Amino acid sequence: MIIIAGDSWGCGEWEDMKVTHGGLAQYLQEDGHKTINLSLGGSSNWEIYERIQLFFASGIPNYLIEDIDLILVFQTEWNRDFDQKRSTCTNQRYGMNAVSCWQYRLSEIAINNNVKIGIIGGCSDTMFLDKFEHEYPGLFIACQSLTNLCVNNDHRINDPTIIIRPAEDHLKQMKDYCRKSDCLDQLLIDLDKGKLRHSVWSENKKYFYPDGVHPNRLGHKILFDFLKSTGVIHEHS
C-alpha cells in the first residue's frame, strides 16, 4: 500500500480547475499497487502534514488489507502556511528553515508509524543533503525537483525554487520578517527564481499543458518511471 499526500500537484493533471488524470496515484494503481491519495488542491505543507498525522491517528491503517509500505509527499510552497491560524513551521522561520521544520515533523510520523516517507519536489523543489536521511530519520528525497526531471531529465537541482507567486499578504509577512532577520536579499532572489520557474512551465507545454502550472499526465508518467527506475517503487508482486 502506497499513500500519496500533497497539494494539487499530488492530485494529478488539471484542466479548467478539474482533475483530468490521476497522475502518479493513477499510474501506481494501473501498475497493481493499492494506493490512497490524500492530496487536496491548494494545501499548504502544514495541512499535508496534518492530513497524514490524522490518517494514522484515526486508526484507519489498522483496517487496511495491506500494510503501508511507503508515503510519497509532494512538497509545496512553504509560504502557504501563512494562511494557517495556528502555530506552524513558518513562525519565525524563512524559506528552507521552515521546510526543515516541516520535515522534522514528517520524520516523527515516519518513526512513530514505522513507515518510509519520500519527499517529491513539486510546486516547490525540495532540498538535497548528503546526510538527509541521518538528519531526518525515516525520510528520503524521492525526487528533488519534478520540474527539472521533466525539463532536463535530472531530478537534482543546484538552486531549488521554493516560492512561485506568493499572495500579497504572504509577501507582506515575508518582507516584515526579513526586515528584522536580514533576509531581504534572499527574498528578492527567491521571488526572481519563482518568476523564472513559472516561465519554465509556460515554455514546456509538453509536460505542463493544459493549465500551465501543473505537470500533465506525461509529467507524472516521467515521475512514475523515474521512481521505478530508482527502486523507490518496487515491482508489485
Taking residue 52's Cβ as centre, other Cβ atoms within 10 Å add up to: 22
Taking residue 73's Cβ as centre, other Cβ atoms within 10 Å add up to: 28
Query: Over 60: is that where the pLDDT of 237 sits?
Result: no
Mean local confidence (pLDDT), 35-57: 97
Mean local confidence (pLDDT), 218-237: 92
Pairing of strands 13-15, 18-21: antiparallel
Mean local confidence (pLDDT), 108-127: 97
Question: Could you tell me what percent of the chain has a pLDDT over 70?
Answer: 99
Q: Which of the listed CATH numbers 3.40.30.10, 3.40.50.720, 3.40.50.2300, 3.40.50.1110 matches domain 2-229?
A: 3.40.50.1110
Mean local confidence (pLDDT), 54-58: 96
| Global pTM exceeds 0.85 | yes
pLDDT of 234:
87
Amino acid at 92: Q
> What is the residue-wise DSSP string for 45-96?
HHHHHHHHHHHHHTTGGGG-SS---EEEEEE--GGGGGG-SS--TTTT--TH
Task: Kindly report, residue by residue over 129-180, the tens digit of the pLDDT.
Answer: 889 999 999 999 999 999 999 999 999 999 999 999 898 999 999 999 899 9
Top-confidence residue, 235 or 11: 11
Distance CA 127, CA 36 (A): 26
Residues 4/72, Cβ–Cβ less than 8 Å: yes
Q: What is the mean pLDDT of the chain?
A: 95
3-state SS assignment for residue 139:
strand
Query: Over 70: is that where the pLDDT of 236 sits?
Result: no
Cell numbers for 28, please give them.
501506481
Amino acid at 200: V
User: What are the boundaries of each domain within the chain?
Assistant: 2-229
β-pair partners for 3: 36, 71
Residues 154/38, Cβ–Cβ less than 8 Å: no
Question: Could you tell me what percent of the chain has a pLDDT over 90?
Answer: 92
Distance CA 57, CA 161 (A): 33
Residue 92 pLDDT grade (very low, low, confident, very high; cuts 50, 70, 90): confident
CB under 8 Å to 155, separation ≥6 — which residues? 121, 143, 144, 145, 146, 148, 149, 226
Task: Kindly report, residue by residue over 3-27, the tens digit of the pLDDT.
Answer: 999 999 999 999 999 999 999 999 9
3-state SS assignment for residue 196:
helix
